[in-house]
Each structure stands twice: as structure tokens, then as C-alpha cells.
């Protein structure tokens, strides 16, 4: 039996990447990439290049999108997510109208927040 030892395991990143439409659509459903690090969770919706940022310690139900209120945290997680996606050569979806690849999260952050 292994016992959990005190470590930085809570700071380890968890990443989900779903680059394609695969079923039903609706709010919170669709092509997206997500990173969870510590208390924070960032979701990047590919098709409309929108972000949702949650502090899971204070909002486990993910009801308060803090993307506009916490620009530094948004930027930090968008960079970490982008670095990972590039490092693993992750497939990104193509825009159906233009045929151009959807940009990585870090590439659209300046359009989303003004720092």
C-alpha cells in the first residue's frame, strides 16, 4: 500500500485536449483545451477563442468565470497550456470557413485582455 507523501503534486498540471467536435453541442460542450494547476482551471474554447477561468478552491461548481478579473492568472495558464500543446505536437482544429488552424491559447490572449 502506498501512502501519499507531502509533495508538490497539487501543483502538477492536468491537461485535457479535445480538438474536434464529437457529439452534442451547447454551452460548455465542444472543441476545447483545459489546464488544471493548483486551485486554478482554465478552459479555452477553440471555435470562439473564449476563455473560462475558475478558482476551484473557492468555486468548486465553476459558477464564476474569473477570466476578466484575473488577467495575470489567465495569461500564466494560457502560456502553460500553449507550451504543453506545442511540446506534444497537439492537433488543433481548423476554422471551417477559412481552413486556417485555430490559434493556440497564448496567441489570442492579447485579444482577450488588455495588459
pTM: 0.84
Q: What is the pLDDT of residues 18-45, one digit of tens each?
A: 888 766 666 666 789 999 999 999 999 9
- Ramachandran angles phi, psi of 41, nearest 5°: -135, 125
User: Using the 8-state DSSP alphabet, how is residue 104 labeled?
Assistant: P
Q: Are 96 and 24 in contact (CB under 8 A)?
A: no
Q: What is the pLDDT of residues 39-97, one digit of tens each?
A: 999 999 998 999 999 999 999 999 999 999 999 999 999 999 999 999 999 999 998 89
Domains of the chain: 9-112 (3.30.1120.10)
Amino acid at each position: 500500500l502506498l501512502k501519499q507523501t507531502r509533495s508538490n503534486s497539487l501543483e502538477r498540471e492536468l491537461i485535457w485536449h479535445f480538438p474536434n467536435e464529437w457529439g452534442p453541442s451547447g454551452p460548455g460542450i465542444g472543441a476545447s483545451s483545459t489546464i488544471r494547476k493548483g486551485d486554478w482551471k482554465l478552459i479555452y474554447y477553440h471555435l470562439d477563442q473564449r476563455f473560462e477561468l475558475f478558482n476551484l478552491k473557492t468555486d468548486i461548481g465553476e459558477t464564476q468565470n474569473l477570466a476578466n478579473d484575473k488577467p495575470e492568472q489567465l495569461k500564466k495558464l494560457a502560456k502553460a497550456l500553449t507550451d504543453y500543446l506545442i511540446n506534444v505536437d497537439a492537433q488543433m482544429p481548423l476554422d471551417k470557413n477559412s481552413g486556417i488552424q485555430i490559434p493556440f491559447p497564448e496567441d489570442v490572449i492579447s485579444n482577450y485582455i488588455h495588459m
